[in-house]
Amino acid sequence: MKLDQLRSFLRSTTARLAVSYLAVIMVLSLSFSFVIYKTSSHELDRQIPPSSLFTAGSGVAGDDFGYHHFFEQRADEARGRLIGRLVLLNLLVLVVGAGLSYYLARRTLEPIEDAMAAQSRFVTDASHELRTPLTAILTSNEVALRKPRLNLAQAKQVIASNIEEMSRLKLLSDGLLSLSRQDVPIDPKPISLQDCAAEAMNQVLAAAQAKHIAIDDKVPKLKVMGDAAGLTQAITILLDNAIKYSPEKSTIYLEAGKDDKQASLTVRDEGIGIAASDLPYIFDRFYRADLARTASTNGGHGIGLSIAHKIVDQHQGQLSVASTPKKGSAFTIKIPLA
Ligand code: ADP
């Protein structure tokens, strides 16, 4: 490792955290060593017979043979050996502790680094999504402004395209707001799944009628634990996608059922379907499958399903998908019964 690399490593958060961990380990190890030394030293002192034993009334005429000194010397030697071992032990703790501290620091920082990377990816993706409609608005306005004689019809066309792009922007900002709101936990209450489905159908009725798509609603009366507004939003997203990615005059089926603990609601369409290679990614933010890009001109920004997924997660439920390209898709929400 070059000196510069070493310096930047030492300045890194991982190194700083590792040093803090190591400092704690060493303080503990040194304190224990000190306590061990003190108690052992005290014990050794206690084992030295008192000098009076070798002098007055001891039966031994004076400490001529230096017995007391001999015991003291042995105690000092033992103390020396103890210090040597404790120093060795602390060196070992330092080496092993350094490795362990680095490992722990990496483990502590990994989830934080992942979250920061996800955050920065989100900002990049969101900025990218914002740029496309903004560039379109800017270009069409600049071109219109440069025209020496702009007639009313042309001006109206520019305004219409501006409005279209701005509604895309509004949809995106609503979606982003919705995504951030889903980080807050919900307060689940017993609610009617049938009512949520009916409300969601109401919201997409105009879009379905525009494409002459029929929605076959077979949701029975079922009570689930959840937040009515959130659940309605999740079903609306699934219905909205089903309409977007289905041909005109097709049918969308809305079905529901239950087992011991959970209710399940499925939105099934006869649309373009999703390629197996796209399936693992469709719940990711800003992901749009190629099939969808080419088939739908009024596509969104690829955040609808991630919002739906977050809402279902908040409900302690699962959102799954089964799809066959050119045949259709079925999205199923499973959430706990009330
Ligand atoms: P978008 O706004 O692009 O619809 P979503 O997050 O709602 O974003 O969906 C992500 C992608 O999943 C879509 O771009 C599309 O490729 C695919 N998808 C979602 N629902 C369907 C569906 N019912 N039929 C086919 N593809 C779908």
pLDDT tens column, 61-81? 555 567 778 888 888 999 999
**Distance, CA 147 to ligand 1 centroid (Å)?**
39
pLDDT above 70 (res 99) = yes
pLDDT on residue 292:
65
Contact 245, 295 (CB under 8 A): yes
Q: According to the model, what pLDDT value does residue 132 have?
A: 83
β-bridge partners, 312: none
How much is the pLDDT for 264? 97
Rounded distance between C-alpha atoms, residue 319 and residue 283, angstroms: 9
pLDDT at 188 over 90: yes
What is the distance between the alpha carbons of residues 188 and 197, in angstroms, rounded to a whole number? 17
Share of the chain above pLDDT 70, in %: 91
The protein residue with its alpha carbon nearest to ligand 1, atom 21, reads 241
Distance CA 146, CA 138 (A): 12
| Residue 296 pLDDT > 60 | no
| H or E segment and range at residue 266 | strand 262-268
The larger pLDDT score, comparing residue 3 to residue 131, is at 131
pLDDT in tens, 251-260: 999 999 999 9
Mean pLDDT over residues 181-195, rounded?
89
pTM for the complete prediction? 0.72
Q: Which atom of ligand 1 is nearest to the CA of 237?
A: 7
Q: Decide if 225 contacts 188 (C-beta within 8 A).
A: yes
Pick from 133, 65, 86: nearest CA to 299: 133
What is the number of other CB atoms lying within 10 angstroms of the CB of residue 97? 21
Residue 242 CA to ligand 1 center (angstroms) comes to 8
Q: How confident is the model at residue 224 (pLDDT cuts 50, 70, 90)?
A: very high
Which protein residues are within 6 Å of ligand 1, measured from CB?
Answer: 241-242, 244-245, 269, 271-274, 282, 287-289, 292, 299-306, 329
pLDDT at 90: 97
pLDDT attached to residue 101: 96
CB contact at 8 A, 242 and 271: yes
Work out which ligand 1 atom sits closest to the CA atom of 307.
Answer: 6
Mutate to test the pocket of ligand 1, among 274, 320, 321 (most ligand atoms within 8 A of CB): 274
Q: What are phi and psi of 251, to 5 degrees?
A: -120, 145
Distance from the CA of 47 to the center of ligand 1, in angstroms?
83
Q: What is the pLDDT of residues 327-338, one digit of tens each?
A: 999 999 999 999
302 neighbors 221 (Cβ within 8 angstroms): no
Q: Which residue of 211, 288, 301, 309 sits with most ligand 1 atoms within 8 Å of its CB, as the best mutation to test the pocket?
A: 288
- CB of 242 within 8 A of CB of 250? no
Handedness of CA 229, 268, 201, 299 (dihedral sign): positive
Mean pLDDT of the chain, nearest integer: 89
pLDDT for residue 55: 63
Per residue in 23-70, pLDDT (tens digit) is: 999 999 999 999 999 999 999 888 888 777 766 555 555 555 677 788
Strand stretches in 293-338, DSSP E: 318-324, 328-336
Question: Which residue's CA is the closest to the ligand 1 atom numbered 16?
Answer: 289
- What is the whole-number distance in angstroms between the Cα of residue 288 and the centre of ligand 1? 6
Distance in angstroms (rounded) separating the CA atoms of residues 198 and 219: 9
